[in-house]
Amino acid sequence: MVLLEGSCSNVTKVRNRLGPLLDSTVINRVTIDLPGASRYFNGPSGRDSLLQVAHSRRCLIQLDEQHLLGRQHTDLAKYNLRHGLQVMVCQGDITKQYADGIVNYANENLNHFDDVGAALSKAGGPQVLKESKALVKQTGKIAVGDVVVTTGGDLMCKNLLHAVGPESGKASGRERHLLEKTVQKALNLAELMEFKSIALPCISSGIYDQVEKNANVILSFLFLRFP
């Protein structure tokens, strides 16, 4: 959008001069639907390539990150929070999400053989499990409530955030506290790594009847942190 301010005569003069330029401006949206495309173009090499093309062609290139984030799912709800933050409740395949960070509901051994972990590890390729094993070998089992980072591999993200949430009935009544702690750790890491978007599954919801309950806990926590 171009905003012109000033006297009527001056604005008219400028508008007349800008007219031919604005009329010749063309805006096109190009979709690159290839595995790893978002991760590449959000990385240093990809951004350098875009800058070189923009400079050589004397044009402006922008990544439509909101469009990328929302292509692979069905929106169930959307909430606008402070500081321009947006929470989207979605149903879909998290392995096909475009986001700076994708959170994996992991176990303490990071062996990724259950549900979300298995799907993300398979889609991310062998490097995900390789780095996960190296982390556990170096630091030991990951404590409940903690979050660690590995490569995203072939997933459409910069990194995977492996969050070890509580198991229902095995946390001595501290499930809600530990779940909130896990979400907090994931958000802190995302902020530290300067992520602009993060895809978060319904952590600790391996049992079907826990999905709605834990989703409400996560949303309530987000609303309290970002009212």
- Which structural domains are found in the chain, ordered by start? 8-57 (no CATH), 73-225 (3.40.220.10)
Residue-wise pLDDT tens digits, 45-98? 777 788 888 778 777 777 765 544 445 567 778 888 777 788 888 888 889 888
Q: How confident is the model at residue 141 (pLDDT cuts 50, 70, 90)?
A: very high
Residue-wise pLDDT tens digits, 23-40? 666 677 777 766 567 667
Burial (0-12, 13-18, 19+ Cβ within 10 Å), 214: buried
Q: How far apart are CA 179 and CA 211, in angstroms?
A: 13
CA 189 to centroid of chain Cα atoms: 12
The kind and range of the H/E element at 39 are helix 37-42
**Average per-residue pLDDT in the chain?**
80
| Contact call for residues 17 and 23 (beta carbons, < 8 A) | no
